Amino acid sequence: MKPTVTAIVPMRNDSLRVPGKNWRPLAGRPLFCHIVDSLYASGAVNHVVIDTDSDTIRQIAKREFPKATLLARPEDLRDDRLSMNEVLLNTVQQVDGDVFLQTHSTNPMLRPQTIADLIQRFIDKRDNYDSLFTVTALQQRLWDAFARPVNHDPAVLRRTQDLSPVFAENSCVYLFNRRSLTAYRNRIGGKPIMAELERDESWDIDTEADFNIAEMMMQARALANPMKTKVAA
C-alpha cells in the first residue's frame, strides 16, 4: 500500500525582519499560497496541514485551501526562539500520516515536480534511511570566524568552479516519519538523505531584498510559462 504523505507548513504571525511576510502579496498572491499551491499540484501529497497562530493566515487559508487542516499553535510554542522540532513534535501528534513533509511559506520557488520527486526518492529508500533534507551546493572560498580557510588553500588559487562543494541546509524540504522524529526529537534523523536543490528553487525569503528578488524571479517564471494557472485545492 502506498504510504500516506502529510505536508506541514508552520507559520507564525510575527516576522521580525519582514513584517507580515507570510501573507504579503508576491506575484499577486499571499506568499504562503505559493508553496501550498505547489504541494497540491505535486500530486504526491495526501494532506496539507497549516500550523499557525495567525488569524489572518487562517482566514486566507479557509478561503483558498478549504481541504487543508488548520491547527492553532499553542501559546507555549509561539516563541520565535523555540526549535521547529518542538513545533513538529506537537503537530504530528494531531494528524495522521506515514510520511511527513515539512516546508516553509518562504520557499515560493519550489516546483511541484521537485516535491513529487523528493517524496518518491524518500519512499523508495525509506527502508535504509529515516529522513531527507534539502541542501544547496556552495562553490565559494569560505572562511571561518578566525580567518581560517574552510574549503580551499589560499596558497593555491583554484577557480571557484573547481573547488569541492560544501553544502548548506536550505530549509526547503524535510521528509521524515513519526518514529524518527520522536526518537531523535529532530526532523533530521540518524540516517538522512541529503538531497541537492538548484539555487533558484531553494530561494528563501528572510529579508526585504530576498522578497524583492523573489518577485522578479516569479515574474520571469510567469513569462516563461504564460499558460500556468492556480491549482484548485
pLDDT at residue 228 greater than cutoff 80: no
pLDDT score recorded for residue 167: 95
CA separation for the pair 171, 86 (Å, rounded): 16
Domain ranges of the chain: 5-130+169-188+204-224
pLDDT at residue 48 greater than cutoff 50: yes
pLDDT score recorded for residue 230: 52
CA separation for the pair 44, 169 (Å, rounded): 23
182-216 tens-digit pLDDT: 999 999 999 999 999 999 999 999 999 999 999 99
Alpha helices (runs of H) in the chain, residue ranges in sequence order: 31-41, 55-64, 84-92, 112-125, 178-184, 208-224
Report which secondary-structure segment, H or E, holds 48: strand 47-52
| Cβ-contact 49, 91 below 8 angstroms | yes
How many Cα atoms within 13 Å fall on the side-chain side of residue 10?
A: 24
Bridge partners (DSSP) of residue 194 are 133
* Per-residue confidence band for 225, with pLDDT thresholds at 50, 70 and 90: confident
Name the CATH topology of 5-130+169-188+204-224.
Spore Coat Polysaccharide Biosynthesis Protein SpsA; Chain A (3.90.550)
pLDDT at residue 26 greater than cutoff 80: yes
Burial of 164 (0-12, 13-18, 19+ CB in 10 A): exposed
pLDDT score recorded for residue 227: 64
Q: Check residues 37 and 227 and name the one with the higher pLDDT.
A: 37
SS3 124: helix
pLDDT score recorded for residue 19: 83
* Mean pLDDT on 51-65: 96
pLDDT score recorded for residue 224: 84
List, as one string, the DSSP characters of 178-201: HHHHHHHTSSS-SSEEEEE--TTT
* Mean pLDDT on 212-231: 80
Q: What secondary structure letter does DSSP report for 168?
A: E
pLDDT at residue 94 greater than cutoff 90: yes
SS3 101: strand
Cβ partners under 8 Å of residue 11, min gap 6: 22, 32, 50, 51, 52, 54, 57, 104, 105
| Cβ-contact 178, 79 below 8 angstroms | no
pLDDT score recorded for residue 231: 45
pLDDT score recorded for residue 229: 47
* Per-residue confidence band for 148, with pLDDT thresholds at 50, 70 and 90: very high
* Mean pLDDT on 91-101: 97
pLDDT score recorded for residue 131: 98
CA separation for the pair 166, 151 (Å, rounded): 8
pLDDT score recorded for residue 17: 75
Nearest to 172 by CA among 117, 215, 96, 228: 117
Distances (CA, A) of 161 to 24, 81, 144, 151, 166: 37, 36, 20, 12, 12
